[in-house]
């Protein structure tokens, strides 16, 4: 039993070391052809941001609606005014659910796409071809994807917050329990 823990610790440090080495290689590589990197970044921003927009909006709409409905259900007491529903739902969506939904969508959808794409490139020999051409494969493939995620996350978060709040407003207005003015 005593030999198992050190092996796991060594394996953990080995993986962390490989990850740090990959990051150093990716972000430390010189950019020779800026137009190629710009085109790659624009393509990745479209795939990460624009193509994730519908699923982020859909998840945010359902979350806003369900949060509103649950808040209305829990606030059915004569001493609590209905106006507290909007005061609970909107800050919850803006402060917590918008970022959480966006992060989950990016972590699930986008990371699966990137992993499949890079795995296919490794299998087909495209990564080796980039290295043979003198292009840092890790810099060319990793840097635009990370930067695209960093740049599009705030925009997706804003969309998730607005759509979630609007869906909450719509559910409150159609439920009949809370008037739009009270929300």
Q: For 37-50, how does the pLDDT look when each residue is reduced to its tens digit (9 = 90+)?
A: 788 889 989 988 89
pLDDT of 56 above 90: yes
- The pLDDT-based confidence of 85 (bands split at 50, 70, 90) is confident
Is the pLDDT higher at 55 or at 126? 55
One domain for residues 76 and 22: no
**Statement to judge: residues 105 and 156 lie in one domain:** yes
Tell me how many domains the chain contains.
Answer: 2
pLDDT of residue 3: 60
114 and 49 in a common domain:
yes
Across 25-39, 61-75, 125-139, 154-168, least confident range: 25-39
Q: What is the mean pLDDT of the chain?
A: 84
Q: Is residue 181 part of a domain?
A: no
Q: Please indicate, yes or no, whether residues 79 and 116 belong to a single structural domain of this protein.
A: yes
**Which residue segment(s) compose the domain that 95 sits in?**
32-175
Per-residue pLDDT averaged across 55-84, rounded? Answer: 85
Q: Evaluate if residue 160 carries a pLDDT over 80.
A: yes
Alpha-carbon distance of 123 to 178, in angstroms, equals 57
* Average pLDDT, integer, range 55-73: 91
Please indicate, yes or no, whether residues 84 and 150 belong to a single structural domain of this protein.
yes
Distance CA(176)–CA(180), nearest Å, equals 9
Structure confidence at residue 157 (pLDDT): 95
Q: Considering the entire predicted model, what is its pTM?
A: 0.78
């Amino acid at each position: 039993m005593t030999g198992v823990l050190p092996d796991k610790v060594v394996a953990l440090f080995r993986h962390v070391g490989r990850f740090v080495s990959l990051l150093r290689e990716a972000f430390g590589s010189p950019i020779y052809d800026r137009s190629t990197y710009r085109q790659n970044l624009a393509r990745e921003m479209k795939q990460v941001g624009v193509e994730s927009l519908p699923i982020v909006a859909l998840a945010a709409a359902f979350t806003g609606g369900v949060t509103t409905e649950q808040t209305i259900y829990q606030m059915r007491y004569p001493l609590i005014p209905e106006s507290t529903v909007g005061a609970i739902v909107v800050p919850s969506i803006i402060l917590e659910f918008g970022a959480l939904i966006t992060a989950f969508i990016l972590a699930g959808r986008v990371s699966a796409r990137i992993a499949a794409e890079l795995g296919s490139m490794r299998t087909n020999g495209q990564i080796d071809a980039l290295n043979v051409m003198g292009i840092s494969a890790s810099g060319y493939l990793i840097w635009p994807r990370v930067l695209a995620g960093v740049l599009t996350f705030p925009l997706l978060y804003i969309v998730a917050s607005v759509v979630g709040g609007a869906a909450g407003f719509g559910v409150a207005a159609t439920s009949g329990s809370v008037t739009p003015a009270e929300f």
